[in-house]
A and B are shown apart, each in its own frame.
Chain A
Amino acid sequence: MSILVDFTTRLLIQGITGKEGQRALGAARLYHTDVLAGVTPGKGGQHVGGVPVYDSIREAMSEHEGVNSTAVYVPPAMARDAILEAIDAGICLINVMTERIPIRDTAYCLAAAKERGIRIVGPASLGIISAGKGRIGVAGGDSPDEIYMTGRVGVISRSGGMMNEVSWQLRRQGVGISTAIHVGGDLLIGTSYADALSMFEQDTETDGVVLFGEVGGDYEAAVADLIAANGFTKPLAIFIGGKFASALPEGMTIGHAGALIERGKGTAQSKEKMLRSVGAIVVDHYEDLSTALRSQELF
């Protein structure tokens, strides 16, 4: 197993005619993932790299059976409608790469997806990669095999760049990966750390998880609650970036939109304390994530 993405993934790409959409198409194909169709309103009838483009998801799905995932690569002002179109079409996994979507639009889409039982990963997510099986998005770029080695550790990251870097550090230590998921850097995200951990808990091919987290928000609180309630029982190692930010004024965001400085809340230090208290391994340097699970005698 693995989570979210595997050999059965049948992908649609919204915004396939754009530069980023085309890159996502190349990335999927390079890594064992079928892209059945693309959607760009107004460009129906064209082909991108041999993949047919449609004006709407409805049209694409009437021509192609079996679409079960979509990747959203449209500009921020069009993102809300594109995501709602995918929700209305009942596509059960929506990976939103678009950055800088207004938070009001994100909140609306997350609520709409929740009502339909549809999973959104993102926004501002570089994607999901299941080592050796498939990927949605561009994690690992043109050389995914140099970074993502098949194995039994799950990776969750708030940062796309750091997901790749952490996965590389794991590989250097000979630790392979089941699935790596970039949850996105925005304040509101469709798949939280706790959501991803719940999926990894169910995955028989994941023995432990490493997590790259950041200052801001309180998604770690849900992780602590999940562990305390025995909803996640596997070893978990966490790095939280942004300790320096406690010296910054509140209301500021740094790095990602979700890395919001709030007085006395969501600091890297308070998150570390909360996670330690439920038995998670908290490391001081991100590269230590690659060896942290060793002490669990798993690897």
Chain B
Amino acid sequence: MVLYEREGKQLLNTYRISIPRGVIAAHVDDTALGAWDTFPCIVKAQVLAGKRGISGGVKRANSPDELRSIASEFFSKKICDDTVAAVLVEEAIPFEKEWYLAVTYSTRHRCPLLLFSFSGGSGVEHGKDAFELSIDPLRGFREHHARDFFIQCGIRGKDILSLTACARSLVTLFFDEDARLVEVNPLIKRPDTGELMALDAKIMLDDDAAYRHTRQLGARTILGRWPTDREKAVASIDQGEFYYRGTAGKYIEMDGDIACLFSGGGASISMMDALVSCGLKPANYTEYSGNPPRQKVYELAKIVLSKPGLRGIWIVGGVANFTHVGETMAGIADALRELRPVVPIVVRRAGPYEQEGRCLMEAVASACGLRLSWYGRDVSMTETAAILKNEIGIS
């Protein structure tokens, strides 16, 4: 989960990293805006997308009127294709140095890395040309490693100490909060006090570690908009004690008109490519994997198939290793029986109990008059995209 800037900064602050004084406004009439009395101030649109600064999502206000008009502008449009969730108003901080400091996992080193760059500020790509320090997960962070690291970067004097302290806080936060990314850009040095301060924050938390934390975080956007009712409904399917076993809870709505029900993570992303490259447009992305019970698959299928405006339904999976094709198809058949879609349905699936799955689906098709065709292992998944296109009658 990606945190909004304000959420990230508050987390930083609990790990003793200074942040500017600020208030958050949820809408343009929020009393927090009217009560703000320090000018000039910085007004920042709260969006999940990057490149906000150069996309006009950060502005300086010199008066209450200006503040209100900027906030009003932010709430009325998308910034970086993302809906503005809130507006953050902060004191303007003078600074003499702008750095980039982050902690993230590196697939190259397969361990956490501390990243530091002299060129902080907007427009800096994620630690591009940054210096890197590996953090040993077994032994944790050692200050003398960090001091040596900053010295090698060319830092001198008291900055070595303040950056090391800041790095320690970031690494502690990174581990203790189960983050996947903690990025401060820019990290600035105040000319008056010499204090370091985080002017922006990007924190990504590990969803798989959510069970270890009790956080109350608000809603956030998906693909730049608020989650739809259908998306929210699917998200609840996988909750509960055995959340990690047989998932059916991933669903993202898109602009197209082909309902997709994919089995397995790898199949799902390669079949999205196959669909797009044959000229069809997905109405959604969804994936169930492992061995989800009939009920979970039914709930997922019902929501996927209930999206208005569908022109075709594509139910695709590989030759399964151990997923019970009979059981998962039973869940989909239940949804088909209930919703009776009139558009073409193309299924490609094989694996354990494939014959049972096929019989169930063909029985539903025949009883409800559905335009369903079933393909097994002798036709590749990719080929069935073109078959569906043909069935719909798109040339």
Contacts and interface: CB of A to CB of B under 8 A. Distances in A.
A262 B273 CA distance: 18
Contacts of A222: 108
Given A221-B108, A243-B273, A254-B285, A161 B208 contact: no
A159 B111 contact: no
A218 interface: yes
B29 interface: no
Interface residues of B, number: 65
B212 A185 contact: no
Interface string B182-217: 000000000000000000000010101101100000
B380 A256 contact: no
A28 to B, nearest CB: 13
Nearest to B82: A249
B126 A262 contact: yes
B371 to A, nearest CB: 26
Contacts of B208: 76, 100-103, 257
A138 interface: yes
A242 B204 CA distance: 21
A161 B273 contact: no
B351 interface: yes
B263 interface: yes
Contact of A104 (B178, B350, B351): B178
A162 to B, nearest CB: 4
B81 interface: yes
A187 B107 contact: yes
Interface in B35-55: 48-51
B180 interface: yes
Interface string A83-127: 000000000000000111111100110111001000000000010
Interface stretch (A42-50, A57-65, A209-217): A209-217
A142 B352 contact: yes
B227 interface: no
Nearest to A185: B265
Interface residues on A, range: 35 or more
B136 A111 contact: yes
B270 interface: yes
B253 to A, nearest CB: 13
Given A159-B266, A255-B268, A188 B110 contact: yes
B138 interface: yes
Contact of B270 (A77, A138, A286): A286
A245 interface: yes
A160 interface: yes
> Which of A111, A239, A245, A249 neighbours the largest number of chain B CB atoms within 10 Å of its CB?
A249
A235 interface: no
Contacts of A164: 318-321, 351
A72 to B, nearest CB: 13
Interface in B295-353: 317-323, 350-352
Contacts of A212: 266
A164 B264 CA distance: 11
A264 B125 contact: yes
A138 B352 CA distance: 12
Contact of B321 (A103, A160, A218): A160
A243 B269 CA distance: 8
B266 A102 contact: no
B92 interface: no
> Which of A102, A221, A248 neighbours the largest number of chain B CB atoms within 10 Å of its CB?
A102
Given A259-B265, A264-B125, A241 B138 contact: no
A75 interface: yes
Nearest to A18: B245
12 contacts: A99-B244, A159-B264, A161-B321, A162-B318, A164-B318, A168-B318, A188-B107, A215-B269, A245-B272, A256-B266, A257-B208, A285-B382
Closest 8 CB pairs of A and B: A159-B266, A165-B318, A161-B264, A255-B265, A241-B270, A102-B209, A162-B266, A217-B107
